[in-house]
Amino acid sequence: MNNIEQKDKSSVAIIQFIEGINETVVPNVKLTRSKDGSTGTATFRFNNPDIIQLGMEEKGDIKGMYLKDKEGVLITTDVNAKFINGKPKGIECIYIIKSPNEWDRFMRFMERYANSNNLSFTKA
């Protein structure tokens, strides 16, 4: 493997709901942060994600949202499906950030995820 391939692989960030199955739908992410900057909340909203499509129930149960990158995995179990007329239409996940170190780690993941998916940051 050459250096370019290694660099690309190390900067990859993915989201999974079931181990080994990457979610290809990019979420809308809203961040809130405490006044002192030490804690915060990230709310992920997925519109018609892969994981709720027909046939996915055979792949396993959703036990959480896994944010994976070269540093490891960030996990939240606060995952809720949104239904319209009895059919799943979306998923909302809340990731709680409890310290300045966790905030920095989360932002490193988001930077990698944004780069992997050609996203931009818009300040409120």
Residue 26 falls within a domain, yes or no? yes
Residue 18 falls within a domain, yes or no? yes
DSSP state of 26: P
Q: Quick check: pTM over 0.75? A: yes
Residue 7 falls within a domain, yes or no? no
Of the pLDDT bands very low, low, confident and very high (cuts 50, 70, 90), residue 23 is very high
Domain total of the chain: 1
State residue 124's pLDDT score.
65
Quick one: CA torsion of 82, 88, 90, 95, rounded to 10 degrees? 60
Residue 5 falls within a domain, yes or no? no
Give the domain CATH number at 108: 2.40.30.220
The pairing of strands 72-76 and 79-84 is unpaired
**Contacts for 47 with CB less than 8 Å, ≥ 6 apart:** 25, 28, 89, 90
**Tokens at residue 58, please?**
């055979």
State residue 9's pLDDT score.
54
**Tokens at residue 31, please?**
């961040």
Tell whether the model's pLDDT for residue 18 goes beyond 90. Answer: yes
Rounded to an integer, the average pLDDT of 20-48 is 95
Residue 3 falls within a domain, yes or no? no
Residue 27 falls within a domain, yes or no? yes
Rounded to an integer, the average pLDDT of 39-43 is 97
Of the pLDDT bands very low, low, confident and very high (cuts 50, 70, 90), residue 1 is very low
Question: Which uninterrupted H or E stretch holds 74?
Answer: strand 72-76
* b/e per residue 24-49 (b: at least 16 CB within 10 A): eebbebebeeeeeeebbebebebeeb
Residue 49 falls within a domain, yes or no? yes
**CA–CA dist 51, 54 (Å, integer):** 9
Residue 75 falls within a domain, yes or no? yes
Q: Which domain holds residue 64?
A: 14-116
